[in-house]
Every structure is written in C-alpha cells, then in structure tokens.
Chains A and B, each alone.
Chain A
Amino acid sequence: MLTKKSATAATSARRLRGASARQLGHTMDRRAFLKRSGLGVGAGALATQLPYNFIGAADAAAPAGAARGEGKAEVRRTVCTHCSVGCASDAIVRNGVWVHQEPVFDSPINLGAHCAKGAALREHGHGEYRLKYPMKLVDGKYQKISWEQALNEVGDRLLKIRAESGSDAVYWIGSSKHNNEQAYLLRKFVSFWGTNNCDHQARICHSTTVAGVANTWGYGAMTNSYNDMQNAKAMLFIGSNAAEAHPVSLLHILHAKENGAKMIVVDPRFTRTAAKAHQYIRIRSGTDVPFLFGLLYHIFQNGWEDKQYIDDRVFGMDKIREEVLAKWTPDKVEEACGVPEDQMLLAARTMAENRPSTIVWCMGQTQHSIGNAMVRASCILQLALGNIGKAGGGANIFRGHDNVQGATDVGPNPDSLPGYYGLAAGSWKHWSSVWGVDYEWVKGRYASQELMEKSGITVSRWIDGVLENKDLIDQPAGNLRAVVYWGHAPNSQTRGAEMVEAMKKLDTLVVIDPYPSATAAMAAMVRKDGVYLLPACTQFETTGSATASNRSLQWREKVIEPLFESKPDHTIMYAFAKKFGWGEQFVKNIKVEKDAQGWDEPSMEDTLREINRGTWTIGYTGQSPERLKLHMKHMHTFDVKTLKAVGGPCDGEYFGLPWPCYGTPEMKHPGTPNLYDTSKHVMDGGGNFRANFGVEKDGVSLLAGAGSASKGADLQMGYPEFDHVLLKKLGWWGELTEAEKAAAEGKNWKTDPSGGIIRVTMKNHGCHPFGNAKARAVVWNFPDPVPQHREPIYSPRPDLVAKYPTHDDKLKFWRLPTLYKSMQEKVKDISKDYPLVMTSGRLVEYEGGGEETRSNPWLAELQQEMFAEVNPKDANDAGFRNGEYIWVESPTKAKLKVRAQVTQRVAPGTVFLPFHFSGWWQGKDMLEFYPAGAAPVVRGEAVNTATTYGYDSVTMMQETKTTLCRVSKA
C-alpha cells in the first residue's frame, strides 16, 4: 500500500542524485553553511510579530561559532510567489541569511497553510541553480561578462535596431511575477522606448476571461474571493484543478464542503479536485459552451432562473434563452460533450437549489480558440441564477501567477496603459500627466500617433512577428528583430518547434530572469551569438506589492539582499532607461536611492504612490504603501470569512484593500470584497454593474432597473457614469472644494486627478462613480455576441466541425494575419492519423514553465520525470505499458519522449501532459546548451514543443487545451 506515486521514481532518484551532486559542485559549501545557520531561531526578536511565539534564551546558552550565527533573528513577512492565492509566510533571517520559514497563522487568506511550493520558499535563499552573473553567448557557449559590458552591449544593440527599423522592431515580454510596481514601471518603460509591442503571462492565462468578463459586467477579475467560497452552498469547477493549481484555496473550499456545500467538478480529466467532488462530470475537451448552455437548458425549462434579478440587472437574457432552448437540447449537448441528460439535470438542480452557488474556472476554459465565448457562457449561467454580486456566489476566476492580476491591472499590456485606460489620446494625456512628462515628448518616442494608439503584438504570437512575411505584418517596422524575455518562460507558449526557428532568426535575444535557462538553452541550440542573460533577483530579494486573485494587495518585505550579482527588475529597468537617455523622465516622481552595491534603485513606495495617483478606473488609488503595510502587520484582526477587520487600526477595511479601493487613501474606502454587491453601501465595499457600454442598445435601456441600486444610494435607479456634467446637473458640483473644482472641470471620474468627483459621488451620495447598469448577456462587440460553440482548429470530430465550424480568417488582428477556417479546413481529417486529444495542465509541485521550481531540489525530488497520462485502452492499442518511454507526436510532427503513466484518470481518447517541463528537445537532453551551473535539477520534454496553431478570436489566447496527437512505444 505504501508505494511511491511513480513506479520509476526510485531509479530516477538514483540517476538524479548523481546528476545533482555533480552540478552542485562548488556550491556545496554554501548549502552546508545554510544548513548550519538554521539554528536557534525561536528567538525573542520574533515575539512582536508572532503572537504564538515565545521568547527564549537559546542563543545565550548555545555554543558560539559561525554555524550558529550570532546576529539577531529578524522576521520579514513576505508572500509566496507561486500562485495567486497570496499565502503569507514569515521568513526568519539571521546575519542576512534566510534560515527558517514560519507559518503565518494570522493571515486571513492562508491561515499559515502552504502547498509544496509555498512550504519550500526558503530554497530561494539557496538559489544554487540560478543565473549568477550576466552572460553572453559566444560561439555557442555562454560566457560570464560584467554588468557594465552587458548593459552597454545590450543597450547598443537595441538602440541600433531602433535606429535601423524603428522602435516597434523590439518585443518586450514582461512578467506576472514582477510586483505591481515593477510591472507598472515596465509599461512606462516600453512606452518611453516607443512601442506597444509588450505583453506578459496574462495573455496566455486569463486574457479571454479579462475581456469576456469585463465586457459582461464591468471589471475583468475574480468577483468574490477564496475566502468567500465559505459562504457558497454549491460550487461548480469547470476547467479548474484547484487542488493542484491553487492548493490552499482548498482550505476554504473543503471547509465549505464540510459545512454542507455541494461540489461539482467538470473536466476531461479526473483531477485531484474531482476526487473531492460530490459529482464529477467528464466532458470532451473544448465543449464548455454546450455544457454550460446544457445546464441553462434545464434551468430555463424548470423556471429556476432568477427572473426579478434578470429583469433588473441583466441585458439580453431573452436572446440567450431562445438560443439555449432551440439549440442546446439534451441530445445536442450529449452529442457535443458526451454528457447524458440525467447528469446535466442533476448538476443544474444542484446549482439552482443550493444558492448562492459559485462557479470556478481557470485555464481549462480560457485557453481555447473560443475562450472568450466559454467564459461568457459561464458568466451567463451565473447571471441567470442571480448569483453575481452575492456573497457565496460570483464568478470565482482563479488567476495563475502570484501577481498576474496586478500585472494585468497596471502592467505591460499591448492594448492598454495601466488601469485599462486603453491607448486613446486622452488616456495617453492622463498618464503623461501622472508620469510628469510632456505628452508630445512621449508621442515623439513612437513612430507615429497611429502606432501609439494601436494594440501591439501579443506574446502568444511574437514568433509570427519574427517569422511572418514582412508585408503581412501590420506595422511599418515589419518583422521583430529583438526580443527581451523579462521574467517569462518560453515553454509556456505554443508551437515550440517554430519558436526555435524564430529565435534563430532574431538579431538579438535578451533574457532577464533569475532562471533564464529554458530560453537560454533553446537559443543556444540554434544560435552561436547574439544572446544575453541578465540575472534578476526574486521577489524575496526586493520589496513591493502583489495583487492576489481576489484583488487584495499585499506588501512584501525584503527578505534577503539579492544573491550573487542579481539585481531587482526595477533597478535593471532604470539602468537601461539611463542608457536609452530617458532616465530622468522615467523616475520623475520617484525617489532613487543607492543600493548596497551603489546601483540606483527607484523607490517601490513612491512607485506605488504614482500608481495611486493615476489608476482611478479600477480603484488602485486607495492602497497607499502605508495602508498596505498596516494590513500586513495586523492580519489577525481580519475576519476569515468576510475579510473585514473587526476593530484594531484597520477597523472596517477589507484585507489588502481589494480593488476597487476608490478615491484617495484619505477617503478611506475599505476596498471591495465582492464586486457588484448591492446589499452593501458603496463606502462599505458595495456596488453594482458598470455602465460602460452606453445607456441604451436598440431602443432598450442598459441602465439597471429601479430599486436595484447599491444600499443607501441617493439614486435608487440605474444611472450613467459620473463626470463634471452629471455632477452639475444633479446639483452636487458645489460639494467639491475649490481645488477639486479646478482639477475636475471638464473631467470624468476616471480622469479627475483630485478624486473629488469620486469623493462626492460615493461619500456624500452613496452612488457608484461608474454608474449603475445592466450586465450584458449579449456582448454585441464580440465576434459571437451570443456565445457559440465552435470546434477547435484541431478537432477530433470532423462531423462536428461541419456543424460547428470556427471563425473566418482575420487579416489584421493584433498586427498579424490569423488563421481560423482555412486552417481548420486544412486539418479537418487529420484526426485519422492523430486520433487522440492532447491536453495539458498543472502539477502541484511546479509552477508555470517550471524552471524556477524544477531548480528547487525539495520540489524537484517529488516529480522527477515528464510523463503523459494515457488511458489503459489507448496504451494497449498502441502496445506499451505503464512506466515505459513513449513518443507523443502532434500534427506539427514534433515528437515528445515521455514516460507513460497508464491511468484511468483520462478517458480513452485523451492524453494529458503536464506543462512545467523543459530541457529536453524531441528525445534529447539539452544539458549541454545550458549556461554552466544554471540547469534545473529536473528536465524533460516541454509539451508546447508539440502544440499546434489556434488563437482566441478576441484576445489572441493560444489554444493549448484541445489539440491532437498519437502515441507509440519509444
């Protein structure tokens, strides 16, 4: 009974032990030192922050010596960087060494809990497999260079490209692992460079969610919180494996289950989350729309929809109802997704009879060529049940990276300035004034005003920016010539086989990362020079705020000084800004201090204050560094279920001031725990749906019905968003101070730099500055206003491709031609040769592309080999057994050599591969291509080496969850 998870673990453990011992080499001493340093850390210095800690005299009694360390033990409170739950952790530091990690029982989010990754955070203080100094590819090998040489050579090469081809020839891939301040600075950085060709992980994570959800009801974010799920009476997980991807969320989820909540999991794979569910429903990959509309069929048939709620707060539900009843009858649903009627009815009944019920989705729903339609179908289900804007209800969209929400909100997005302001001239003027620079100067940095206001290429397609025919690229600069990977894995993007071709063709490739190794190895495989690796430090070696999935911001203290020669990302940004000649403009409002090595480091506190001064749209204005730090110190005063502080210095505020936290910090908005919740006053975190799409459509009012405004609002009806005109009409203008009047004249609530319009609207009149409108079940500005099922480009069902074909091709879409129908037609019958659905997902031990976590021996030991889950039927048909090496080959002809995990976890016809591996290339270990000493402990085939073409029709999200493959014994 007591067997290891993997039958092959023992042998590979031996193999790996040898390998890692070799790699450890000269760094052994450091680890040995650290090991000795882990002593006697219960000391008195901790007592003020750790209420459960006891002051002791271990130090005094202990033998002296280097091993014990004589410095005081200090506690630095940080937040795990491995997912969006936002688990707080106390780092115990002695003599500058991170010697110990203690649980933060006080945190209302994780109550001390951690998964494998969070419990292994301290390994970041070892960092043996990190990039230790700048390196340059010389004749196919990475060589150490100085920072000075690196900054000069990289800077000169990029400036040369800019001079020759224009600013749009350089592509900047930012990061959701940057903190808010760094992500924000990077958007400013690329703007001053003069391009919108920038992006980060959110594109390939939840871009379809952000677009779909924001267009439905206002903001593109998780509506409630992990904590609020304790109020749910039923929970539907569709395309979310929370037990592996967001393990600590299960603390709240299983608590809810223990108290009676029903749990339904819908997934092609019987996940660890499914193992905890009351009902598990297996659907065919990529058929979320038929499934969700199949539920709605039963809801409408039985009259379970919330009619009053729909009348008051939803636009277009009648159209949905018609569509669902006509098109998604139980037989059609079963044909498309393979779920029989009785299971559908049971799930629909569970959701309807156990309200408030919530829905959770993740990448299983977003990463499709029709992801935008799928997420909207989820929204519509929740609107029909009246679950949005209710505690225990909501659309609980679990984000991925620790700060992917924040980087989406204020970071390097190709289609928007910070705060979803977009790229219109007015937005540029707003941000130029916040940055303290002249709008005309910024404009001058771009090739033209047109390009300044045009969305850039997305990270999912940068390879096409390099490989596509120059004349078909919708920018005068033509092809991309340089790419800067600034905290992003390459193996998380699809079509890896083509990516190395793109890397080969580039003039310059720069990687700035603590663990740049996957990119480095891929590039070294196909290039001799022109690649630079710059060591960034982790978030434990700097300070700043991160936004968890529930929109709460948490402030991290710096745990240790940057290891080796690494530098914080913002310090590197400023160094390049100076090199590019606009250092002064970059930090106009931000204090710059010298760090220990004499580098100039922009203040993170000042940067957050600048974010506060500009980001009115989504309420990133109230979270001053001072307020956030106060929350981190008084975590124990917050209620776990509501996230509200009961007494203490944060009384009445919600933990981490979840955005929107409107107005100035002085207005003391408490943050918003659950979006659109009319049962609360707006100054207590209440709200309603946003008026962002006009006031009427086709003669029907879009404003909310009478009596459906937030609690205590002076206007108990629907109303448009506030600007200076409306304020004057209502006779509220006089309530502004003279200074506010001067600032707010001619402005709306989003651009009034005084925050006066917001103050008067919210504080004096209890109204919502963004108006009070209906949510849109029909999003008329999307390709499919009513969500449609369309088969994936690579579908296993040619018969259904004929019935549910994909979109027409697009010629200019995010600056690139994008194929839909022509591609689908071309590969329509390819499932004859590639009969199995290939899908991918998470393992609890690893994160994202996995280089960081696979470099952590404590984690790497637990998952030592890349594998594919194959059903026994398919394994027997192909003639291999559990534990054997197999080839997984996709229609791109790329082949992956992986271990077979023969299991019923997947149905016959489906092959599942985890996406965290890299370092093998079609059967070969790439070790020789890594920079010396910086290869991760565990390497394996990257699933995305073999993934295929396919992009969402709104956001350019890549299709990873449904493509095709075949398997054979290796």
Chain B
Amino acid sequence: MSAKMMKRLPCAVLAVSALLGLSACSEVPQVSVYEQGQYRGKSDTRPWEGGEFKGDRAAWEKALKERSRGQNEYNRIQ
C-alpha cells in the first residue's frame, strides 16, 4: 500500500529552499523560492483516498464546497 502512495506523493508539491533567499536583501519579503522536494518522511494518502470517500475525488470536493457554505452567512441572509 505504501509503495503505491509513494509514487503519488511527488515532487510537484514538495520543495527545498535556497536558504539565502531568507537572509539577505531586505526588499524581498520573507518568502523563499524552493526548487526540488526532498521529503523524507512517511507517505500520506490524499484526503479523498484514505477516509470515507474511498477515492471519489468529485464527491469529496462537493462535500467541501457544501461545507464551506456554512462560513458565509450571506448564503442564508438576504
């Protein structure tokens, strides 16, 4: 199981930084640029995979969309 996941958890999202970006030029805000991920921990599933959505990404996204309606009272108040 974990080997499969390893493949899924990839480079695109993981990054390592140029430490220099942080230290120097004061005009640059505290945001650094990362090049290539080197995550060395355990692999993880994506939220719609490991839990109750059993890999149905569309259902998961719909659930979150619905859920986020609760954060906007204008949905219920004209």
Contact = CB atoms under 8 A, between A and B. Distances in A.
| A and B directly contacting (CB within 8 A) | yes
A639 B67 CA distance: 19
B59 A641 contact: no
A111 B53 contact: no
Interface string A16-60: 000000000000000000000000001000000000101111100
Given A57-B52, A57-B54, A58-B51, A103 B70 contact: yes
B73 interface: yes
A955 B53 CA distance: 60
A639 B76 CA distance: 7
- Max chain B Cβ within 10 angstroms of own Cβ: one of A42, A58, A108, A111: A111
B15 interface: no
A240 interface: no
B57 to A, nearest CB: 13
A641 B77 contact: yes
A103 B59 CA distance: 21
A640 B54 contact: no
A255 interface: yes
A52 B70 contact: yes
A52 B76 CA distance: 15
B56 to A, nearest CB: 10
A111 B76 contact: yes
Contacts of B69: 52, 105
B30 interface: no
B51 A56 contact: yes
Contacts of B33: none
A56 B52 contact: yes
B27 interface: no
A274 to B, nearest CB: 23
A255 B73 contact: yes
A230 B73 CA distance: 12
B72 to A, nearest CB: 10
B38 interface: no
Interface in A52-104: 52, 54-58, 103
A901 to B, nearest CB: 32
Describe B's contact surface by its main secondary structure. loop
Given A111-B76, A251-B73, A255-B77, A52 B52 contact: no
A317 B41 CA distance: 76
The 7 A-B pairs of least Cβ separation, nearest first, read: A56-B52, A105-B70, A640-B76, A640-B77, A54-B63, A58-B52, A52-B67
Nearest to A108: B76
Interface in A106-138: 108, 111-112
A858 B38 CA distance: 37
Contacts of B70: 52, 103, 105, 111-112
Nearest to B76: A640
Contacts of B73: 111, 251, 255, 640
A57 B56 CA distance: 13
Contacts of A58: 51-52
B2 interface: no
A119 to B, nearest CB: 15
B53 to A, nearest CB: 7
Interface string B45-71: 000000111100001000100110110
Given A105-B70, A111-B70, A255-B73, A56 B53 contact: yes
26 contacts: A42-B51, A52-B63, A52-B66, A52-B67, A52-B69, A54-B53, A54-B59, A54-B63, A55-B52, A56-B51, A56-B52, A56-B53, A57-B52, A58-B51, A105-B69, A111-B70, A111-B76, A112-B70, A230-B77, A251-B73, A639-B76, A640-B73, A640-B76, A640-B77, A641-B77, A641-B78
A42 to B, nearest CB: 6
Nearest to B50: A61
Contacts of B51: 42, 56, 58
The A contact surface, by secondary structure, is loop
Contacts of B67: 52
Interface size classification for chain A: 10 to 19
Nearest to B77: A640
Interface of A: 42, 52, 54-58, 103, 105, 108, 111-112, 230, 251, 255, 639-641
A54 B52 contact: yes
A105 B76 CA distance: 10
Contacts of A641: 77-78
Interface in B12-58: 51-54
Nearest to A113: B73
A108 B77 CA distance: 10
Given A52-B67, A112-B70, A42 B76 contact: no
B73 to A, nearest CB: 6
A438 B24 CA distance: 89
Nearest to A103: B70
A52 B66 CA distance: 6
A42 B66 contact: no
Looking at A54, A251, A641, which has the most chain B CB atoms within 10 Å of its CB? A54
Given A42-B52, A230-B77, A640-B77, 6 more contacts: A42-B51, A52-B67, A55-B52, A57-B52, A112-B70, A640-B73
B76 to A, nearest CB: 5
Nearest to A44: B52
Nearest to B67: A52
A58 B53 CA distance: 9
Nearest to A58: B52
B45 to A, nearest CB: 11
A555 to B, nearest CB: 22
Give the one of A230, A251, A640 with max B CB within 10 A: A640
Contacts of A105: 69-70
A695 to B, nearest CB: 43
Nearest to B78: A641
A39 to B, nearest CB: 12
A255 to B, nearest CB: 6
A54 B67 CA distance: 10
A322 B5 CA distance: 83
Contacts of A55: 52
Contacts of A42: 51-52
Contacts of B54: 57
A52 B53 CA distance: 14
Contacts of B78: 641
Nearest to A104: B70
Nearest to B66: A52
A641 B74 CA distance: 11
Contacts of A230: 77
Contacts of B76: 108, 111, 639-640
Contacts of A52: 63, 66-67, 69-70
A640 B67 CA distance: 18
Nearest to A230: B77
A54 B66 CA distance: 10
A970 B54 CA distance: 63
Contacts of A54: 52-53, 59, 63
Contacts of A56: 51-53
A63 to B, nearest CB: 13
A230 B59 CA distance: 35
Nearest to A43: B52
Contacts of A103: 70
A111 B70 CA distance: 7
A130 to B, nearest CB: 32
A255 B73 CA distance: 9
A108 B75 CA distance: 12
Counting chain B CB atoms within 10 Å of each CB, the highest count among A105, A108, A230 belongs to A105
A49 to B, nearest CB: 14
A54 B61 CA distance: 12
Nearest to B72: A111
Nearest to B60: A54
A42 B63 CA distance: 12
A255 B78 CA distance: 11
A924 B47 CA distance: 53
A198 B70 CA distance: 44
Contacts of B52: 42, 54-58
Contacts of B63: 52, 54
B49 to A, nearest CB: 11
